[in-house]
Amino acid sequence: DQQVKQNSPSLSVQEGRISILNCDYTNSMFDYFLWYKKYPAEGPTFLISISSIKDKNEDGRFTVFLNKSAKHLSLHIVPSQPGDSAVYFCAVDSVGYSTLTFGKGTMLLVSP
Amino acid sequence: DSGVTQTPKHLITATGQRVTLRCSPRSGDLSVYWYQQSLDQGLQFLIQYYNGEERAKGNILERFSAQQFPDLHSELNLSSLELGDSALYFCASSAGQGDEKLFFGSGTQLSVL
């Protein structure tokens, strides 16, 4: 059973608009959440994280929102740029020691 | 460049064979993690080592084993390979203190024919 679900395999957005990527998790005991970005032929790279004591964390164009009651995480990218086109993975630190459980990813395509 | 080096980048082998994937962590990182990414799956955690000792285990098959050496590089050994083992295998490293980001290598693409 998937502990982390990204229900949208893909998302297309126009340059300059907002991209919203969503993630749902099953276990209310998870306390650390992360987003990774992956370009083809490269490994995933860390983007932004949030701990369960917060409901929002912002880093430049990227903001992560955490809704603990709904067990829902979202990543907002504003404004979206063509270089943001990549696969985005949601992850939780489910075991501790930074052993991450990942969702299946959402492919974001930002068109000019 | 994440600073994590994985070799080889590509590996093609036959069913029943054994292969070894190698990972050099970022300088100073004590923890090494192995992940598997199959076609329809996200990244599946396999195993973690910290300073030479196994720290956490995920859904790693008994046919697979790993170790971390005194110089902190790690090897993932896959034996009795099956077609379903074809996947992208990633290594990641971190300082190992917990609640921290992982740095991933660019992966080894394994094709079992």
pLDDT digits (tens, 9 = 90+) for A19-46: 999 999 998 888 889 999 999 989 999 9
pLDDT on residue B60: 93
**Mean model confidence pLDDT for chain A:** 93
pLDDT on residue B42: 80
User: Does residue A53 belong to the interface with chain B, where contact is any CB pair within 8 Å?
Assistant: no
Going by C-alpha positions, the residue among A39, A30, A61 that lies closest to residue A48 is: A61
Interface of B with A (CB under 8 A): 2, 4, 31, 33, 35, 40-45, 48, 50, 55-56, 58, 90, 92, 94, 96, 98-107
Range with lowest mean pLDDT among A1-5, A73-77, A108-112, B95-99: B95-99
Nearest to A100 among B40, B45, B96 (CB): B45
Going by C-alpha positions, the residue among B76, B34, B54, B3 that lies closest to residue A100 is: B34
pLDDT on residue B3: 93
Q: Which residues of chain B have pLDDT under 70?
A: 98-99
